[in-house]
Structure 1
Amino acid sequence: MKVVTFGEIMLRLSTPGFSRFVQAASFDVTFGGGEANVAVALAAYGVESYFVTKLPAHEIGQAAVNHLRRFGVRTDYIVRGGERIGIYFLETGASQRPSKVIYDRAHAAITTLQQGEIDWDRVFEGAQWFHWTGITPALGERVRAELRRALEAARRARVTVSVDLNYRAKLWSVEEAQQVMRALMDYVDICIGNEEDAEKSLGVRPQGVDVEAGKLDEAAYAELALELKRTFGFQAVAITLRESYSASINGWSALMVDNRDCQTPYRSRRYQIHLVDRVGSGDAFAGGLIYGLLMKNNTREALEFAVAASCLKQTIPGDFNLVSAGEVEKLMHGSGSGRVER
């Protein structure tokens, strides 16, 4: 089973513990980025997982490649060149203080991609799935053009395509996002997002939704999923549902509608999570859903796997979801009590 993802991997510099930027004397170093996070999650489940990007040929670029390889991701199609790797700084919030992210990613190597540097027909040989996020086309015209070439090649290869809408206000405006993203939906089979992503990226506004209220109107989210499916003709739509009680305690579940087992919107089991690191949780959900749709008997099982996987991610520091399929299954079918395993 071969899955391909395409996007930017960044150097992540996070303050130790819950320190603020202004008090930090050092930073914890790792790597992360939407599509890379999905690739790592899939590799952990035993999938042949490929991440495609462009990275500098210097030592920091090589460190990023090595980091991916450490967790089983195939790096065969990574292009080397450009001068720098993007960076993001993370301050982890607690209780009523939210987490903060500062980007330093201008002129990153991926933004220098030239037509012909990636042979997409070769990349998709033997592939079953291609995943991308709304962050990638927000990186500029060259990346946007490369993404379209990838999507056209995926269509030629009859590869299933999924997108996580992932709107990022610090990268582009609502107007630009909608102009670009709506056109790219013609290539998409499976759409993943939340209420903000749907509104900002695609212009589909949910009614009666207030994520900060501590409770969810399930009917409003169900209608949002159905509206996205009707408007763009997706095979399936998955909406993540986060109840933000504070920066430390969240409720977590998801809802899905598709052409197979969930023609009526289905909501997953709900988990209450004491957050360790929520960055990458949506990517963990996407990775779990891709695995579930490829390997499970039905859509409902696939959704439950994705929600359990992303629940576990939020207990792990760093961007990557470093859990096995067996650990996810255990949470799916168990109590989630967190008792010590001896």
Structure 2
Amino acid sequence: MLRFATFGDILIRLSPPGFKRLSQTSSLEINIGGAEANVAVALSQWKNEVQMISAVPDNDLGKMVTDKLSGLNVDIKNISKGDGRIGLYFLEPGTGTRGGKVTYDRQGSLFSIQDPDNWHWPELINENISWFHWSGITPALTESSFLSTKKALEHVSNKGITVSVDLNYRGNLWKWGKDPIEVCPQLVAKSDIIITNEEATRKMLGLNIDYIDEEVIRTNYDRMAGDILDAFPMLKMVFIPIRRTVDASENYISLYGFDGEKGYLSTGIQVKNIVDRVGAGDAMTAAIIHGISSGKPLDQIINLGVAASALKHSIPGDFLISDFSEVESIALGNKSKISR
């Protein structure tokens, strides 16, 4: 069995109940999240061995995080603890014509201020690890987080470890003095599989993809994926998530995948009555990773990715809590039926 490792900051999410605005509420619901943690949890639900590499404060909040992840079968032995704070984000849920809103309070989180030399990569990613996953959120946090990611990728390079990245552009996080175009290409150059959309490709990789028409589903995705592979020869596969928003309660999602020879576009799913879209992209990423590592063909992988993402829209919180059989059933078109 392959063993996976994800690396990133773990957050506590605070949100008002129902669809209240922050200014209306007298209470906040607590969830655990973070892009890399979300991927780890989904993979662990699907009977994969997954470890999370991170840092949390040595207090009750840090314990809450590690207890939650451990309870979901994520290996937490490489989540270090120390003095400091945990990152928070406040989510005001969207509904109908009102979009959701995220307010970050994560500056100075213990993870983000770790000295890059604190991560002992030969011990953290040893011969037992077959797959390493990172996201574009981590290098956005601080220069230290960027350098930590860079050192991790330098360590895994040429060790036969598959490296995946979900670029995840977050403009509000890039505050430490570097533009993502100065930082991300050198990290992507050491990766094997990339999940990226039009915005991330432009703003984080600096590629000119002005030929993409975002209102037309299949326009030139073959060309975009080919341009990405040409720019980053180490990459073997490109995945492009596609989301078309009707309003905050209804989205259309699909997924394009390219393996260097042939591109496929998934069956699209119209997701209505959205409960919680946070983590839906991470669920898609986890399904891509699981599908590749299980040896599934590309045309199946993309439909599993869309199914996992659609399913996450129906589940409150950041995590996808689901057996993989449920994802497979949705991918086959079995939606909304009672399982008896």
Query: CA offsets, 1:235-289, max 9 Å, x none?
Result: 0100001011111111111001113xxx222101110102111111111111110
Is residue 339 of structure 1 aligned with residue 326 of structure 2? Answer: no
Please give the alpha-carbon distance, in whole angstroms, between the structure 2 residues aligned to 1:25 and 1:57: 28
Please give the alpha-carbon distance, in whole angstroms, between the structure 1 residues aligned to 2:300 and 2:217: 23
Query: CA offsets, 1:132-160, max 9 Å, x none?
Result: 00000011111111111111111143211
Q: 2:157 aligns with which of 129, 143, 155?
A: 155
- Relative to structure 1, the CA distance from residue 239 to residue 108 in structure 2 (aligned partners, 3 Å threshold; closer, same or farther) is same
1:182·1:201 contact (CA, 8 Å) conserved in 2? yes
Q: Which residue of 2 aligns with 1:197?
A: 200
TM-score normalised by length of structure 2: 0.94
| Paired residue secondary structure (1:187) | coil
Structure 1 residue 114 displacement after superposition: 2.4
Is residue 266 of structure 1 aligned with residue 264 of structure 2? Answer: yes
| Paired residue secondary structure (2:172) | coil
Q: Would you say how many aligned residue pairs link Structure 1 and Structure 2? A: 335
Structure 1 residue 210 displacement after superposition: 5.7
Structure 1 residue 95 displacement after superposition: 1.0
1:40·1:321 contact (CA, 8 Å) conserved in 2? yes
Q: Which residue of 2 aligns with 1:231?
A: 231
Please give the alpha-carbon distance, in whole angstroms, between the structure 1 residues aligned to 2:144 and 2:174: 15
Q: Which amino acid aligns with 2:301?
A: A
1:13·1:28 contact (CA, 8 Å) conserved in 2? yes
1:79·1:117 contact (CA, 8 Å) conserved in 2? no
Please give the alpha-carbon distance, in whole angstroms, between the structure 1 residues aligned to 2:45 and 2:154: 28
2:264·2:298 contact (CA, 8 Å) conserved in 1? no
| Paired residue secondary structure (1:329) | helix
Query: CA offsets, 1:52-111, max 9 Å, x none?
Result: 111110110111111111111101111111310000000111111110000000110012
1:1-342 maps to which residues of 2 (within 5 A)? 1-125=2-126, 126-172=128-174, 176-207=179-210, 209=212, 211=214, 215-233=215-233, 234-259=235-260, 263-274=261-272, 275-336=274-335, 338-342=336-340
| Paired residue secondary structure (1:266) | strand
Specify every segment of 5 or more residues in structure 1 that has no aligned partner in the other structure, as ranges.
none
Please give the alpha-carbon distance, in whole angstroms, between the structure 1 residues aligned to 2:80 and 2:161: 22
Please give the alpha-carbon distance, in whole angstroms, between the structure 1 residues aligned to 2:299 and 2:333: 17
1:57·1:81 contact (CA, 8 Å) conserved in 2? yes
1:208·1:217 contact (CA, 8 Å) conserved in 2? no
Question: Which has the higher mean CA deviation after the structures are superposed, 107-116 or 73-82?
Answer: 107-116
1:285·1:310 contact (CA, 8 Å) conserved in 2? yes
Query: CA offsets, 1:158-213, max 9 Å, x none?
Result: 211111011111111696111000111221110101111111111124335565xx
Please give the alpha-carbon distance, in whole angstroms, between the structure 1 residues aligned to 2:253 and 2:86: 32
1:282·1:310 contact (CA, 8 Å) conserved in 2? yes
Taking every aligned residue pair, what percent have the same amino acid on both sides? 36
Q: Which amino acid aligns with 2:284?
A: F
TM-score normalised by length of structure 1: 0.94
2:213·2:219 contact (CA, 8 Å) conserved in 1? no
Please give the alpha-carbon distance, in whole angstroms, between the structure 1 residues aligned to 2:84 and 2:217: 47
- Relative to structure 1, the CA distance from residue 15 to residue 294 in structure 2 (aligned partners, 3 Å threshold; closer, same or farther) is same
Q: Which amino acid aligns with 2:115?
A: Q
1:251·1:271 contact (CA, 8 Å) conserved in 2? yes
Question: Which has the higher mean CA deviation after the structures are superposed, 168-177 or 273-282?
Answer: 168-177
Structure 1 residue 324 displacement after superposition: 1.0
The RMSD of aligned alpha carbons is: 1.6
